[in-house]
Structure 1
Amino acid sequence: MKIKKFIIHNSLFIILALATALRFWNLGGNPPHLSPDEASLGYNAYSILKTGRDEYGELLPMVFKSFGDYKPGFYVYLTVPFVAVLGLNEWSVRLPSAIAGTVAVYLLHLLVKELLGYGLSFRSTKNISVSGSKSYLLSTNYQQLAMLASLMLAISPWGIHLSRGAWEVNVSLTLTLAGILFFLKGLKFSKYLILSSFFFSLTFITYQGAKLSTAIVIIALLITFITDMKAVLRKNWKIIVISFVVALTISLPAILSFNKGQTGRLTVFSIFSYPRPDDFLQKMLDQNTEKVGDLNYFLFHSERLNYARGILGRYFNHFSGRFLFFEGDYQNPKHSSPNQGMLQLFDIVLIPIGLIGLIRHRNRMTTFVFLWLILSPLPAVLTRDQVQAVRAYNMIIPLTIISAFLILVGALSIGLISGKIVSDRQRAQIIKPDILTASSSGRNFVWGATVRPYILTNDNRPYNPNDLDRQFEIIKDLFPKGCVRANIEGDMAINDQL
């Protein structure tokens, strides 16, 4: 009985503890070693710590050159204090992302409670129905949906995987959640809009793809809450101006990077950089006795139509069962856990029905969640990859809220068959098994889908440099100096130290 009371009264603490365990346990050993991008982030942080310059000698840059790419530098500077304390290793490089992933769970809890103020008012008696055929008389509060949403994010394979590596997008998502939270608070107390613009603009100097993903979130917010923003503009236009200046100042390095050609691999990965080869197009036209400019060409074979097909195909790929529930990022296996979808398998039931339920409850909360969901794959679909779990990472938040909504309504429905209003204690008893079940799923996930596959297979990551050094140590006395060659990711290198 005491354990039950403890779980009921400390649910948020337990969820945060679970999220922390899933993101921090054996962080230095799983994944088994640093990827090239992680090593670059760590080395640049170490170089900034020791010299104030990056690996190319640039003084305190805000955009870092790495492997032919240009990365916004906020993650590097976040890593510096951890490198100073822990040294340059896997732990220090990955800690900023792991911390951000845990903080995101708490921020989602706060965000859902704030969103509910603009939507389903659970503080008073309401009629809620998923299918529309039945309505149940409910009396509940904000805590339950917020709690379930944070729990679903805590055990999400997508969130866990990207929190256990030095992924800038994970930090960017946490900053985005903070930006949304303070935006909603700013509609009531306008001074919070300054904080909102601060966090939103930080995403631009954290992750390259945030230039589009954050813009999508801001557009969805403005569309949904345009009436509230007009009221703020009439009463406190100075706050809006200050917020804009703050955002412009912080985002300036990202804006200037476009003029300097430091757009990273945006051009390389853009779908528009890969038109059909001329010989392929000509062969296709010859087979159909067509010419460029003909009506048939315009209707069926034009380059614009080809791009449209590619974009639409990629868009729907990100909502496919293969991507979300069964295989994950099948085009880039290192972006997801082996033999695991981006979400939990039970979400295959929760998300479609929960989405129907949210659509039927039309209000500003559900409008924003729906807009965010349908727009969030855009940063991924404009690239050459068929699916891209990193660029589509913002999908995780609306999908998590939708899953939590169905769990809540389903749990309440179980206790409301007789049409009676359920007390807070009874509702807690109904929802508690869902929490325990999800916690068990999370526990199994960290071994079955995160730890064990990484231990058994290492195909998705380059060879561990530490293991390479140990192999050289074994053979260095057997060969003359300078004669050993190692093929690392296709590049021949001479070990002059042998």
Structure 2
Amino acid sequence: MFKRNNLFLLIVIILGAILRFYKLGIVPDGFHTDEAYLGYNAFSILKTGNELTGNFLPLNLRSFLYSPAGYSYFSIPFIFLFGLSEFSARFASALFGTATIPIAYILVRKIFTRFNFKGLLALFSSLILAISPWHINLSRVSTDNVLVVFFVTLGTFLFLKWLDQKKLYLVLLSMLSFFITLFIYQASRSFLPIFIPLLFIYGLFLKKIKVKKFLLPLIVYMLLIIIPVLLILGSQELSFRIRTLSIFQNPSTQLLIDEQIREDGVIGISPSSSRFYHNKIINFSQTFFSNYFKHFSYEFLFTDAGLPDRYRVSEMGLFYIFELPLLLIGLWFLFRNDKKIGFLITGWILTAPIGSALTFDDVPNLQRTLLMFPAVSILSALGLITSFKYLRENIRNKNVWKAGYILIFLIIGYNFMFYLHVYYVNNIIHRPWYRSEGFRELVAKINLNLPGYSKAVIAESGSSPTIFLLFYNRYDPLTIQKIVEKANTIKYGSISFDKYQIVQDKCPVRMEKVVDKLTGKTENIFTGEKGVLFVNEGTCRTPDSANLIADIKRPDGTVAFKLLKVK
């Protein structure tokens, strides 16, 4: 039985790997700015030991809004092996996404050790994780949260193993796994301080270890998790990203309070009395709970309403629709049969959105809440096994319950095939502008034409063209680090270098109407100059005085960029 389970697990892992690595460099179409930053910084650290800004072996990437540098470090071996490309930049995400599947398998076996169906449950949990749209979507792009899910899953398994074997090295390895995530993705910094105490409480529920035995692990938890989190929050640089997205820093909150107080004042309520009802505590609480519960809505979980837009798949939710009843059945089974495990699994899921709920940007957020895995896969698998068991035990006719099995698998199969269709066919042309589409071809076209011109003037277009020029040209990191140092700017995505000049204007070459202040007459002024290669945004009108060299189109046929020269 064990050998058969291992064979099935191997098949599931291979399936998961295929779903994550197949056409990895070209699907999803487009290469987002965030991916380019993570990939080029890995390339820069590999070549020089410094990130783009010259910061030596950084824990956070200054050039990427002080985001954790962990993903870039994990990408270095693959960029070394395969060279700098979309494929190598995404490789770490796909690899750790695949590696989470067997870790989830052994974790489920450990949690459900007293259940006779633990092997089957572990297989189904791994299978659901392997084919999960949510997990696949994020495993196929350069995104750090997939790595965090791997290390959190591994850390949880090692912690539970420590509860059984009581060997110190296991809990140390567990805390080390958790510690690593602090330097990979922001979300773990709000998740772990709550989740790890849940593990300690779960251990006390099981009565597998005495309270005094928790003292040393608690000290390690304080040293490796709590103190680093506090130091990060206390640092102006390391907490920059957190502070800029926090609901507590959102200026609209104070504006709303002021408006509410003014409205009360209209009917004669004094400002001091109004403050009792309209204050930051009330408003922040309302914002937090509103954000939090959005992550459990049908729209977020089962339609394509999740954010950010670049990770959405048209007509697909984060879960398959067949998982809706399975999740509910799985939850019912847990609290009916083992409330301790129910506490752990639901606690895991309920803790995951807390960090996202504390932000005002892109909420509800499918990236920050991927930490729900593999707990949600376990619930779905429990629901599936419970459904099979119900059919078998309550339907006497063998052929009927077998037909029920077949029907369930057909529904699952259709949902899976539908997802693959929309992901590989529809999604390529659906809303491609969110994925920085066109930059690969743009850089190639600029390089092809640039030798005949003095320089290229490129519209900034809100997409950080500099990082794409660096990435696709595999530009020497040491050279750009010196240029960045001299530039003395924090707008790293729009730094001009060599023959590339980045401008804020969306249409660098155009016919512009200018009103003479003295005469009041309107003149048409042409902004271009000869001998220069211009790159306008696709929406810009081509003036009569310029020739279109090439236009860069997105897969849906819309124009992303226009290459122009003056006649």
- TM-score bracket for the superposition, by shorter chain length: 0.7 to 0.9
| Structure 2 residue 48 is matched with structure 1 residue 51 | yes
CA distance in 2, matches of 1:233, 1:443: 50
Over 3 Å counting, the alpha-carbon distance change for 1:356 and 1:190 in structure 2 is same
Shift in Å, 1:452: 3.2
Counterpart amino acid of residue 188 in structure 2 = A
Shift in Å, 1:473: 5.0
Shift in Å, 1:18: 1.5
Match of 1:85 among 81, 90, 106: 81
Counterpart amino acid of residue 15 in structure 1 = V
**Which residue of the partner structure matches residue 135 of structure 1?**
none
**Which residue of the partner structure matches residue 542 of structure 2?**
none
CA distance in 1, matches of 2:463, 2:165: 57
**Count of residues in correspondence between the two structures:** 461
Over 3 Å counting, the alpha-carbon distance change for 1:84 and 1:91 in structure 2 is same
CA distance in 2, matches of 1:202, 1:454: 34
CA distance in 1, matches of 2:403, 2:171: 39
CA contact (8 A) 1:212 1:379 kept: yes
Shift in Å, 1:438: 3.5
Shift in Å, 1:200: 0.9
| Structure 2 residue 32 is matched with structure 1 residue 35 | yes
CA contact (8 A) 1:333 1:460 kept: yes
Larger Rg: 2
Over 3 Å counting, the alpha-carbon distance change for 1:366 and 1:53 in structure 2 is same
Q: Tell me which moved more, 156-165 or 483-492.
A: 483-492
Over 3 Å counting, the alpha-carbon distance change for 1:33 and 1:449 in structure 2 is closer
Shift in Å, 1:84: 0.6
**Which residue of the partner structure matches residue 99 of structure 1?**
95
Q: How does 1:230-249 map to 2 (within 5 A)?
A: 231=209, 234=212, 240=217, 244=220, 248=223
Q: How does 1:160-179 map to 2 (within 5 A)?
A: 160-179=136-155
Counterpart amino acid of residue 200 in structure 2 = L
Shift in Å, 1:472: 2.8
Which digits, 9 at most, give the CA deviation of each residue in 1:242-299, with x for residues without a partner? x818x836997766444432113111111111223165244322344323331x6524
CA contact (8 A) 2:314 2:422 kept: no
Counterpart amino acid of residue 499 in structure 2 = D
Q: Which runs of 5+ in 1 are unaligned?
A: 1-5, 124-140
Q: How does 1:171-190 map to 2 (within 5 A)?
A: 171-190=147-166
**Which residue of the partner structure matches residue 537 of structure 2?**
none
Q: How does 1:29-428 map to 2 (within 5 A)?
A: 29-67=26-64, 69-117=65-113, 121-123=114-116, 141-191=117-167, 192-227=170-205, 231=209, 234=212, 240=217, 244=220, 248=223, 256-261=231-236, 262-274=238-250, 275-277=253-255, 279-294=258-273, 297-299=275-277, 301-329=278-306, 331-385=307-361, 386-417=363-394
CA contact (8 A) 1:161 1:450 kept: no
**Which residue of the partner structure matches residue 499 of structure 2?**
496
CA distance in 1, matches of 2:463, 2:29: 21
Counterpart amino acid of residue 27 in structure 2 = N
Match of 2:15 among 18, 32, 39: 18
Q: Greater relative contact order (Cα 8 A, min sep 6): structure 1 or 2?
A: 1
Over 3 Å counting, the alpha-carbon distance change for 1:74 and 1:229 in structure 2 is farther
Partner of 2:268: helix, strand, or coil?
Answer: coil
CA contact (8 A) 2:329 2:386 kept: no
Two-structure CA RMSD over aligned residues (Å): 3.2
Q: Tell me which moved more, 403-412 or 190-199.
A: 190-199
Counterpart amino acid of residue 421 in structure 2 = W
CA distance in 1, matches of 2:139, 2:425: 14
CA contact (8 A) 1:109 1:147 kept: yes
Counterpart amino acid of residue 34 in structure 1 = F
Q: Tell me which moved more, 20-29 or 344-353.
A: 344-353
CA distance in 1, matches of 2:262, 2:232: 41
Over 3 Å counting, the alpha-carbon distance change for 1:313 and 1:10 in structure 2 is same
Partner of 1:10: helix, strand, or coil?
Answer: helix
CA distance in 2, matches of 1:441, 1:39: 32
Counterpart amino acid of residue 411 in structure 1 = F
Which digits, 9 at most, give the CA deviation of each residue in 1:442-473, with x for residues without a partner? 34422323553124541212243222123435
Shift in Å, 1:161: 0.8
Over 3 Å counting, the alpha-carbon distance change for 1:259 and 1:144 in structure 2 is same
Over 3 Å counting, the alpha-carbon distance change for 1:26 and 1:114 in structure 2 is same
CA distance in 2, matches of 1:9, 1:185: 20
Which digits, 9 at most, give the CA deviation of each residue in 1:211-253, with x for residues without a partner? 1112232122122222568835645866x38x818x8369977
Over 3 Å counting, the alpha-carbon distance change for 1:73 and 1:373 in structure 2 is same
Which digits, 9 at most, give the CA deviation of each residue in 1:58-87, with x for residues without a partner? 2222222124x1122222111111111100
Partner of 1:415: helix, strand, or coil?
Answer: helix
**Which residue of the partner structure matches residue 134 of structure 1?**
none
CA distance in 2, matches of 1:79, 1:288: 61
Shift in Å, 1:357: 2.8
Q: Which runs of 5+ in 2 are unaligned?
A: 465-493, 501-532, 534-567
Shift in Å, 1:181: 0.4
Shift in Å, 1:98: 0.5
CA distance in 2, matches of 1:254, 1:464: 39
Partner of 1:47: helix, strand, or coil?
Answer: helix
CA contact (8 A) 1:171 1:206 kept: yes
CA contact (8 A) 2:75 2:92 kept: yes
CA contact (8 A) 1:462 1:489 kept: no
Over 3 Å counting, the alpha-carbon distance change for 1:9 and 1:311 in structure 2 is closer
| Structure 2 residue 423 is matched with structure 1 residue 453 | no
CA distance in 2, matches of 1:73, 1:413: 48
Shift in Å, 1:52: 1.5
Counterpart amino acid of residue 30 in structure 2 = H
CA contact (8 A) 2:192 2:225 kept: no
Partner of 1:104: helix, strand, or coil?
Answer: helix
CA distance in 1, matches of 2:36, 2:447: 22
CA distance in 2, matches of 1:313, 1:396: 22
Over 3 Å counting, the alpha-carbon distance change for 1:483 and 1:224 in structure 2 is closer
CA contact (8 A) 1:204 1:251 kept: no
Which digits, 9 at most, give the CA deviation of each residue in 1:295-354, with x for residues without a partner? x6524x33322222211111211111100001241x421233233211111122222233
**Which residue of the partner structure matches residue 138 of structure 1?**
none
Identity, % of aligned pairs? 27
Counterpart amino acid of residue 210 in structure 1 = S
Over 3 Å counting, the alpha-carbon distance change for 1:446 and 1:227 in structure 2 is same
Over 3 Å counting, the alpha-carbon distance change for 1:84 and 1:409 in structure 2 is same
CA contact (8 A) 1:359 1:366 kept: yes
Shift in Å, 1:113: 1.1
